[in-house]
Each structure stands twice: as structure tokens, then as C-alpha cells.
Amino acid sequence: MENNKHEKTETGKLLRLHLHNRYETKACGIFAEYLNQLGEGLNCLLFALLILFIGPTNACGGSATGQTPSESEQVLKEFYHALSMKDCSRALARRPDYSIEKCMDTDWVNISQIKQIAKTPRIALVYIKISYSRHHIERQWAGHTMLIYDGKSWKIQDDRFWWDETKFSLEYCLEKVAKFESPASSSRDGSKREFNRPMETGTEPAVNESQNRPPPGVALPSVPHESQLETDSEGLIEDVETLDQSRMPQGVVSASAAQRRPPVPGRDSLQKEFNIKNPEPTEPEPIIEGFTFGSEIILHKLWTSQQLNGTSDDKKIQSLAKPDHSAPDLQVPRVKNQPLVPCLMNSIRSVKPFRGRKVIALTFDLCETANDISGYDAAIVNYLREHKIKATFFAGGKWMRSHPDKTEQLMADPLFEIGNHTWSHANLRVANDKDTVKEILWTQAQYELLWEDLERRCKAFGIDSEMSNIPRLPMVFRFPYGTCSPGSLSTLSRLGLTAIQWDVVTGDPAARQTAENITRTVLNQTKPGSIIICHANGRGHGTAEALPRFIPELRNRGFEFVTVSELLRLGEVEAYEECFELRPGDNSRYDRVR
């Protein structure tokens, strides 16, 4: 009897919470308690009519602006973030009925409004408004999404069960209830997806009803009028007209806005200007699930432990009698990255991890100018390998050409990711368009040459299949001196490279920097989602000595080291339309450097 009572009152609880949050009056409370005694199907009908006629606005309160997102809101954010990153395995974990095909067809998704309307221990209703692009057509969708707690986590329900306010009617509600309670609507694991399925004992999450109550004076988002929207074949509410910049979330640049930035030379003009005769690029490389960055088999088959350890002489820097401006053997890569999704445009300084996960990215620049041959700090790399610390190395193209074997070792190591740091450490804020594209593409092409050389070496040992674990091209980029321009950011977006800055500066290029100062800075400033900048090209003063001091302590504090590309998948990026060291305008002194 108790179970039956619980089974029949689940939607009644949603109604009671929704009414309580809206009016908080004794009359509404009595009415909600009465609704709680009704049957499940009638409750659904009344719930539909309630939302249809009253709408999502709150007469006695408003949205929980500034509050910590609810668990259901977080799940939706993670789902749409995964779609934007084409992280399909993570997307399907939050919405199991979604298809990989739809995931791969989605270009990007941006959430403009999200608010949990009501919640019981097993059901949550969330209003959400998104703009998204599929097959490069920009659209909008708005409505209420239902999530169900399966005893372990919240799961987003199939499109067929989403409450669509523009189509509410008696027949519509009854049809949805019938589908939801029919055997055909069972989940993949065989369990029936219905309102009255009892939860497993002891798995019911605690409900904080105060979190469902919006603060006074703030209205919930309203649903677009039916005349402003149209429904596509999948039941999504869409506006198929191209979105203008005013409708894009703050900090996100639409394709049309990107076109208004300074023009960037195309590939044909580059070939003409530089007399390039390389084959046309192939189709964009597929996204590698899990972002694998290397192979232990390759690493230990091609090099001995002694070769990997290197020597202290590797760190030495050589000055050149004459600047070296020579081009690489390949000047335009044979393959190309996919253009960036909007959420990865602009200059990313850190990430706000989902659920407060304590993930951070440790990065090292391997830069080299035309005037010298910089070094390779083996002590840094050896410590990272010994202690299994993931890191990202932003390597200059000229540095990779000067250190081909070391570059291939880093490429083959599963702990490390390689990023692009321009060819000769040029200031792209003052460089012209031609030089900007050259600095970026020459570096991509040099990496590809070394990837192909590594593949040839693997074939000799019959392990070339392992090369699928090593990215064909770098996917992330760092501006030298932390300087950029709207034109250079637009160029990176077209070339499929994410601009990565930092929020923790070790200051290790300074000759007088010490391990103590570096340790103090890192421990005081690192937070979840931080990106730490160091150097491993022989100019990282005190860095090798500082690593054993701050890395164990950060681990003791619960921090987990990930590569930059992994970090981008684990939270919402914090990006800016300009580049700087610690605050806007603090690196203008580098503008005399070209």
C-alpha cells in the first residue's frame, strides 16, 4: 500500500512544488495537496494545463540567478557541452537514447537560459533555451525538458517525452502519458520508463525544496510564442533564420561576425605567395574519442630508457651568427583541423569544471626564435614521466625542426599533448595577415612531417597501427608573449586551433626566478580549471627544481593533472576577446617585437 501511494503521487509532488514555488499561499498549498491525491494520468493533464495557461513566469519569485546549478541543470549543461565538443560517449552517458550520428552532425550548442522548474526525488523538469547549429544551419530551441533519476544519476529523456508548450492539448497530454507508461517505452536495460516505477531502496537523493524556490522579483524565462517558432521533423522548435550577433551569448562570435573581422589569406593565395606545391588537404581528421596522445608501445619500442632520459647538455641554448628564416620542407599541412565551434573561440584562460572537479593543466612552452637554437630541459620531462603527470607542450615549429627526435618522443608519450606555438615566436598582435598564417601553418606542417617520419619508423617494427593514438595535427595553440589581435583569433578559428592562455604565471623566463617563488605562486593561485604556464626550452629558470615541491602538494589537495584538450572537455571555458598576461593591457611592451 505504501509503495502504491508513493507510485501515484510522484507527479503530484511536482505539481505541489511548482505551485508552492509560484504562489506560496495557503490556498495554493491546499490545492496542491488536493492534486496530490489524484491519479497519475489526471495529474499529468493538470500539469500540462498549468504550464500552458500560467506559463513558466513566477508571480511570487524568480529564477535562481547566481545560485549553484541544480543537479538536473548540471546534467543538461554537460550534455550540450559534450555535443559542442563532439564528445559523443559523454553525451550518450547523459542521454542514452541519443544517437552518435546526431552528435557528430551537431556543430555547436549554446545555452542562453536554463532553470529547474520543479523536482521530486525521481523527476525533474527544467526549462531551457538554446541556440545551436546542425549541418551549419543556426537554429533555436526552447521548452521544458524532463529528467529521471535512475537510482544512480539523472538521465535526460527522449525527445518524444519532452513537454512542448506550443502543442499542449488534452489529446497531446494523454498521448504522452500513454507512450510513457506503455511497455514500448521501456529503457534499454529492460526497465520500464514510467512515473510510477518505485526507486531502489536507499538510492533516493535528498530534496532541498528551498532550492526550488526562486528569489523574489526575478521572473522565469518565457517560452517563445508559437507564431515566432516552427517545428522541424524531429519535434524540435527551431528558428531557421541565421542568428545575428545580438542573439549569441556574450563572448561567442557567430560565423557572420567572424566574417566581419580582417580577411585572412586563403590556401590558394598562400601557395601562390610562397610558391608552394603540396597536395591538397584530405578531409578533416576525425575526432579521436578520449583524446589519446601517444602509445607506450611506440615510446618504448623506438627509444631506450637512456635515450628518453637525455642529458644535461640538451638544455644548452646556442646563438646563431645569422638569423634563420628558412622555411620547412612542407609549408602547408596535408590535412587540416575542423573549424572551431563558437564556445572555443577567443582566448581561453581557464576552465570552470563541471561539479567543481579539481582538474588543472600544466603547460610548458618550447619556443625558439630565428636568432638561436633553444634547449630541451630533460629534467622536467623526466620528472613528469616518473610521476605520471600529464602535461601539454606548446612547441614552436622551428624548435621542432631543431629537435626532431625529442619532438617525436613527446608525441609518442601518452602523458603529453603537443600544441602549436608559432614558427619563430612571432608577436601575432602586430604581424600582418600573411605572416600570421605562415607562422601558424609552417608549424602545423613541421609537426606533420615528424608525424609521418614517426609512422615510417613504426612500420619498420610492425607497430604502425599504434599511430592512430597520436593526433595528426596539434589542436591547441598558444600566442607568443600572450599577445593577439581580432584578426589572428579569427585565423585560428578558421584553422581549427584553440587559443590557450593561462591564469597562473610562474615567471620562469626571468633569470633570477627561483624554485621557492614558483612554488609559492603555483600553490597560492591554482584553482580548479587553472592553466599553469612554464618553460622547458632551457629558459625555465627554477622550474625543474620547483616541480617536486608543488606537484605533490597539489596532489595532496586533490588536484588532478590533465592535458589542455582534456581540460576543455571537462567544463565551461573562461575566454576573452583579447590576450594578456594577468590583466588587460599588461603586455603592450611586447608590441615592438615582431
Q: Per the domain annotation, does 434 fall within a domain?
A: yes
Instruction: State the average pLDDT over residues 6-11.
Output: 44
- Contact (Cβ atoms closer than 8 angstroms) between residue 357 and residue 467: no
Strands (E) in 424-483, as ranges, are 476-477
Q: Per the domain annotation, does 94 fall within a domain?
A: yes
Inform me whether the pLDDT recorded for 365 exceeds 50. Answer: yes
**Cα distances (angstroms) measured from residue 284 to each of 338, 491, 550:** 6, 17, 39
Same domain, residue pair 553 and 435:
yes
Percent of the chain with pLDDT over 90: 48
**Confidence (pLDDT) at 342:** 80
Same domain, residue pair 111 and 231:
yes
Strands (E) in 322-368, as ranges, are 347-353, 359-366
**Confidence (pLDDT) at 137:** 87
Higher-pLDDT residue of 166, 465: 465
CA distance 362 to 415: 11
**Confidence (pLDDT) at 70:** 86
Q: Per the domain annotation, does 356 fall within a domain?
A: yes
Same domain, residue pair 343 and 242:
no
Per-residue pLDDT of 282-321, as tens digits, reads 433 333 345 678 999 999 999 999 999 999 999 999 999 9
**Confidence (pLDDT) at 424:** 97
Same domain, residue pair 449 and 557:
yes
Instruction: State the average pLDDT over residues 142-149.
Output: 84
Same domain, residue pair 480 and 587:
yes
Same domain, residue pair 450 and 569:
yes
Same domain, residue pair 410 and 524:
yes
Q: Per the domain annotation, does 255 fall within a domain?
A: no
Domain ends where: 199, 216, 247? Answer: 247
- C-alpha cell read off for 580: 594578456
Least confident of 61-70, 178-187, 189-198, 418-427: 189-198
Q: Per the domain annotation, does 267 fall within a domain?
A: no
Same domain, residue pair 372 and 232:
no
Q: Per the domain annotation, does 331 fall within a domain?
A: no
Q: Number of structural domains, the chain?
A: 2
Same domain, residue pair 237 and 343:
no
578 exposed, middle or buried (CB, 10 Å; 0-12, 13-18, 19+)? Answer: middle
CA-CA-CA-CA torsion for 534, 539, 419, 385, nearest 10 degrees? -70
- C-alpha cell read off for 13: 509532488
**Confidence (pLDDT) at 370:** 96
Q: Per the domain annotation, does 1 fall within a domain?
A: no
Domain ends where: 228, 247, 266? Answer: 247
Placement of cell 488534452 in the chain: 170
- Contact (Cβ atoms closer than 8 angstroms) between residue 459 and residue 467: no
**Confidence (pLDDT) at 158:** 58
Placement of cell 600529464 in the chain: 390
Q: Per the domain annotation, does 385 fall within a domain?
A: yes
Same domain, residue pair 22 and 121:
yes
Instruction: State the average pLDDT over residues 431-451.
Output: 97
585: left (phi over 0), alpha (psi -120 to 50) or beta: left
**Confidence (pLDDT) at 126:** 85
Range from 19-28, 42-51, 64-73 that averages highest in pLDDT: 64-73
Instruction: State the average pLDDT over residues 129-151.
Output: 85
**Confidence (pLDDT) at 89:** 86
Inform me whether the pLDDT recorded for 512 exceeds 50. Answer: yes
**Confidence (pLDDT) at 357:** 93
Torsions phi, psi of 238, nearest 5?
-130, 150
Per-residue DSSP letter, 527: -
- C-alpha cell read off for 14: 511536482
Q: How confident is the model at residue 594 (pLDDT cuts 50, 70, 90)?
A: low
**Confidence (pLDDT) at 380:** 98
Q: Which domain holds residue 102?
A: 10-247
The average confidence (pLDDT) of the chain is 75
Percent of the chain with pLDDT over 70: 66
CA end-to-end span of the chain, whole Å? 79
CA distance 371 to 339: 33
List the CATH number of the domain containing 445: 3.20.20.370
CA distance 328 to 155: 50
User: Is the pTM for the entire model greater than 0.75?
Assistant: no
CA distance 227 to 71: 33
Q: How confident is the model at residue 142 (pLDDT cuts 50, 70, 90)?
A: confident
Inform me whether the pLDDT recorded for 566 exceeds 60. Answer: yes
- Contact (Cβ atoms closer than 8 angstroms) between residue 294 and residue 412: yes
- Contact (Cβ atoms closer than 8 angstroms) between residue 90 and residue 354: no
Same domain, residue pair 381 and 242:
no
**Confidence (pLDDT) at 82:** 87
Domain ends where: 247, 281, 312? Answer: 247
CA distance 453 to 14: 62
Per-residue pLDDT of 367-399, as tens digits, reads 999 999 999 999 999 999 999 999 999 999 999
